[in-house]
Amino acid sequence: MTETAVYGIGDATFQAAGGETGVKALVEEFYLQMSTLDSAKTIRAMHGDDLTVTKDKLFRFLCGWMGGAKLYQEKYGTIAIPLAHNHLDIGTEEVDAWLECMQKALQKQNYPEDLQQYLLKRLAIPAGLCQTRHS
């Protein structure tokens, strides 16, 4: 897509991200970043050693969130992002670390710059909803 691309309409974002294959690659890179960045050690520690289910959930969530099939709901049911993260100690630093991992993962994809910026800006919303500590 070009700089004049319209994202957020129908499945335009999902298609621009490469469909399921592209989203899967993004999720893999995201968790690689989380596992290697010093700034992400705290959020990586919130996950178990085996990321199989965690990766599957993020993949399925992102597919539907980007306008593709509602794969998360098909397998796991309705998602309530704040409730799903309520048991974790997530403050501003953790939200920022999550977004940094996503930014670096987006940069590793063959996505146009405008799509990367669009996704990062839009993902800041659900990331912020995960925050449980506000001090």
In CATH, what class is 19-129? mainly alpha
**What pLDDT does residue 4 have?**
57
| pLDDT value at 12 more than 90 | yes
Q: Give the chain's mean pLDDT.
A: 94
Domain ranges for the chain? 19-129
Reported pTM: 0.93
In this predicted structure, the answer to whether residue 46 has a pLDDT above a threshold of 70 is yes
User: Using CA atoms, how far apart are residues 97 and 103, in angstroms rounded to an integer?
Assistant: 10
Tell me the percentage of the chain whose pLDDT exceeds 70: 96
Q: How far apart are CA 118 and CA 61, in angstroms?
A: 17
Phi and psi based region of residue 4 (left: phi greater than 0; alpha: psi -120 to 50; beta: remaining): alpha
Mean local confidence (pLDDT), 8-37: 97
